[in-house]
Amino acid sequence: MKTKFTISIIIALLLSFSINAQVVVSNSKSSSNLFEKTTKRSPTKVNMKKGQTKNLSFYVFANNVYTFDIEAAQKLGDLNFRIITEDGEIIFDNALAMYNSVATLYAEKTEKITICLTSQPPKIFQANKKFYEVKVKVSYKRNTSA
């Protein structure tokens, strides 16, 4: 009886996660050799100060796999990045993944997503005038079977 109850809870949880519009496939430390045929676009660069938030918008297309790789100066500290759908649903938050800098996403539908970058606030009594470059690299694998 206890086993049936446990299995039914696991199935219910799996079904609730499969309803999401996007699925984060992995959040590995490096994005090299993830796919044989991967298309990379030039990195998007933004300048950030400590304690600042920047939002970048991207379109993802249905049935494609996207890899987002964030590179930032160590002086910014742990850079938090979240992937947010048009509906405001947070589908990835690297704070929950020990501030990992890479996320892989399978797009189930074509939609606009937002990458929200937030740097750590400066220490007390520390000047916050210097800007640091942050690169957002996006690569994707087209699904040729669709």
Pairing of the two strands 44-48 and 53-60: unpaired
- Residue 146 maps to a domain: no
Residue 4 lies in a domain: no
Locate 140 and state its tokens.
């994707």
Within 8 A by CB and 6+ apart from 55, the residues are: 114, 115, 116, 117
> Rounded CA gap, 108 and 133, in Å?
31
Residue 67 amino acid letter: T
Note whether residue 12 is domain-resident: no
| DSSP secondary structure code for residue 121 in this structure | P
Pair of tokens at residue 42: 């030039």
Mean pLDDT of the chain: 75
pTM, 2 dp:
0.68
Tally of CA atoms within 13 A in the half-sphere of 79 that contains its CB: 27
Between CA 125 and CA 110 the distance in angstroms is 45
Contacts of 20 (CB under 8 A, 6+ apart): 89, 91, 108
Could you tell me the CATH number of the domain that includes residue 89?
Answer: 2.60.120.380
Tens of pLDDT, residues 55-114: 999 999 888 999 999 999 888 888 999 999 999 999 999 999 889 999 999 999 999 999
Segment 123-140 mean pLDDT: 81
- 14 within domain boundaries: no
Q: pLDDT at residue 28 above 80?
A: no
Within a domain: residue 59?
Answer: yes
Q: How confident is the model at residue 17 (pLDDT cuts 50, 70, 90)?
A: very low
Residue 56's domain comprises: 22-141
Q: What pLDDT was estimated at residue 123?
A: 78
Q: Domain total for the chain?
A: 1
Establish if 16 belongs to a structural domain: no
For residue 96, being part of any structural domain is answered with: yes
Residue 15: inside a domain? no
Residue 12 pLDDT > 60: no
